[in-house]
Each structure stands twice: as structure tokens, then as C-alpha cells.
Amino acid sequence: MKVRKAVIPAAGLGTRFLPATKAMPKEMLPIVDKPTIQFIVEEAKKSGIEDILIVTGKSKRSIEDHFDANPELEQDLAETGKKDLLKLTQDITNLGVNLYFTRQPHPAGLGDAIYRARSFVADEPFVVMLGDDLMNDKIPLTKQLMNDYDETHASTIAVMKVPHEEVSKYGVIAPEGKVKDNLYNVKSFVEKPAVKDAPSDFAIIGRYLLTPEIFDILENQKPGRGGEIQLTDAIDTMNKTQRVFAHVFTGQRHDVGNKEGYLETSIQYGLKHPETKDALRKYIIDLGKKLEKENK
């Protein structure tokens, strides 16, 4: 069965970015001039996804508004001759995918957010795309997982090598033999293990391709770490009865879920943006010279 659907959880409180996220969704924080969630939706589109469910929460209405038409703005841009900006605005509502929205009433874990997509997914395989991770590669990571599914017809989780001292920040896999380049069997999945207990340095990153059997498991999943329903725990349970693979991503990952990563990503994307790259590059060079003098 073809993978057509994606679920994007966007119900988190975004506490790491307070006070900015007190009234604005974390997913709407811009990388240069584009909200982070738009990058995720565009990756889904490039991968061949047709239907996307975004799971939101309280005070997240601006996400829906962003992907909706704005006739007043479009009229103003047209009347003032700002054709490029008009096209940018219209392109957002003409992405060529079907967008749906549902709400998670209160934060109860990633597993709970995904469970709320059950009726949307029905009996089809689907992709989960987390908004904290922006991925860059010649072939979108989501498409790489879809290609794996075409061969295996099994759930596949994206992982990436991380420094050993950072494994406690992630779900981690215990690999059990390579199937082919970049694809591994998995013995177990562990949510945020202590560094000394981590079974490997392969951390789960924000892309999953799951079969619909995950919903029966999530329905009965007991709260795990932090008292929340953890998707990693449910995947580990599923792995005991049906094969779940790990796909090792070798492209570039940008973590925009924390301040440091968000700033680094903004700089890197700013250095590629046609309107900002030259001025930003000059500023960085000048700043580097200034800091070097101050440190002498």
C-alpha cells in the first residue's frame, strides 16, 4: 500500500522559547522569513505525501491561519505591485497537499498526540514528522523512509549518530545487524537512557514511518517517562511482534527545538537566503575579527 499520509504533532507548549511562545506557537517561529512548520509541510509535499494532519493545541490557531488564504493581504500586495511577495503568499495556500487539523486537549506525550490521528490514518501506513528537526539531503528523509517501506512493508524509524554524551536527550536504539546500507534491524528502543546505559549512539530523530498497528498499542500504552504516553515505548512494544527497522540518516539535521540550535539554523539558512546571504556573511566576518581582537 502506498504511503500517502503524514501526521505533524504541533501541540507542545514550547516552554524552551518562553516568553516568545506564550502567545505564539513554537512552530511559527521563523527561520529567516519562513515558519519552521512550513519547512516540514514542504518536505512532506516533496516526498509525495498527499494528506497531512497537524495535531495542534490551545493558542495554535495561527498555524491554521498561516496555511489559509488571506484575501485582504493578497489584494494589498497586488494593488501595490509586490508580485514576488504575492506569489510567496499564494504559494503557501497552493502547496498541492490536503491539510487537516485536530486538537490535543492537553499535553500528554507524543504517543497521545499520534493516537489522535487514528481515524485520519485508518488502516494505512503513515509518516510522523516532528517540527523540531529540519532535514537536508538530496532525497528528503521522509522520502527515504517511504522508499524503505516500498521494499520492507514494515515500520521504519529514522536515526542518526550523536555524540555519546548527548544520548540521554533522545530515544535510542539497540541495533541488531545491518540489513543493507543505512538500514538496521533493531533489538530494542529506549527512551532517553542514562549515558552509561545507552545501548548505542544511534538516536531517534524526528521522522517515523509507522504501520497502523501502532494505534492498538498506543490505546493500551501506560504512561512512561515524565508520566506521558511515549511513542518510543509503543514502538518498542510493536517491535516485539513485528519487525521495525532503523534507517540511518547521513544528511544534515538542524535541531530547532532549543535556543542554540534555533540560532545556528537561522544563521545557516540566512547564509543561503538570496536577500540576506551577502550582508550576513560580511557581518559574521567582521564580528569574528572584532571578537578575535577582544580576546587578545
Q: pLDDT digit string (tens) for 142-168?
A: 999 999 999 999 999 999 999 998 988
- With CA atoms as reference, report the closest residue to 132 among 7, 269, 255, 33: 255
CA distances from 33 to 56, 92, 172, 269 (A): 22, 13, 33, 10
Listed in sequence order, the residues at least 6 apart from 166 whose beta carbon sits closer than 8 Å to its beta carbon are 203
Is the distance from CB of 8 to CB of 110 less than 8 angstroms?
Answer: no
Query: How many residues belong to the chain?
Result: 296
Indicate the residue type of 193: P
Bridge-based pairing of strands 5-9 and 126-129 is parallel
Residue 230 belongs to what H/E stretch? none
- With CA atoms as reference, report the closest residue to 53 among 102, 111, 112: 102
Task: Give me the residues paired with residue 126 across strands.
Answer: 5, 210
Say how far apart CA 46 and CA 236 lie, in whole Å: 29
Ordered domains of the chain (ranges, CATH): 5-257 (3.90.550.10), 260-296 (no CATH)
pLDDT above 90: residue 90: yes
Lowest mean per-residue pLDDT among 116-120, 214-218, 290-294: 290-294
Q: Residue by residue, what is the 3-state secondary structure of 169-216?
A: HCEEEEEEEEEECCEEEEEEEEECCCHHHCCCCEEEEEEEEECCCHHH
Helix (H, G, I), strand (E, B) or coil at 165: helix
* Cα Rg, the chain, nearest whole Å: 20
Q: pLDDT digit string (tens) for 97-148?
A: 999 999 998 878 899 999 999 999 999 999 999 999 999 999 999 999 999 9
Mean of the pLDDT values across residues 21-45?
A: 96
Q: For the whole model, what pTM was predicted?
A: 0.93
Indicate the residue type of 290: K
Lowest mean per-residue pLDDT among 48-52, 189-193, 261-265, 289-293: 189-193
Quick one: pLDDT at residue 52? 98
Quick one: pLDDT at residue 254? 96
Residue 14, φ and ψ in degrees, nearest 5: 65, 35
- With CA atoms as reference, report the closest residue to 259 among 56, 38, 26: 26
Indicate the residue type of 190: V
Q: Over the chain, what is the mean pLDDT? A: 93
pLDDT above 80: residue 5: yes
Q: Please state, for a pLDDT cut of 70, what percent of the chain lies above it.
A: 100
Quick one: pLDDT at residue 277? 97
Largest CA distance in the chain: 64
Helix (H, G, I), strand (E, B) or coil at 246: strand
Q: How confident is the model at residue 288 (pLDDT cuts 50, 70, 90)?
A: very high
Say how far apart CA 76 and CA 200 lie, in whole Å: 55
Residue 259, Cβ neighbours under 10 Å: how many? 11
Quick one: pLDDT at residue 264? 97
Quick one: pLDDT at residue 293? 86
Q: How confident is the model at residue 177 (pLDDT cuts 50, 70, 90)?
A: confident
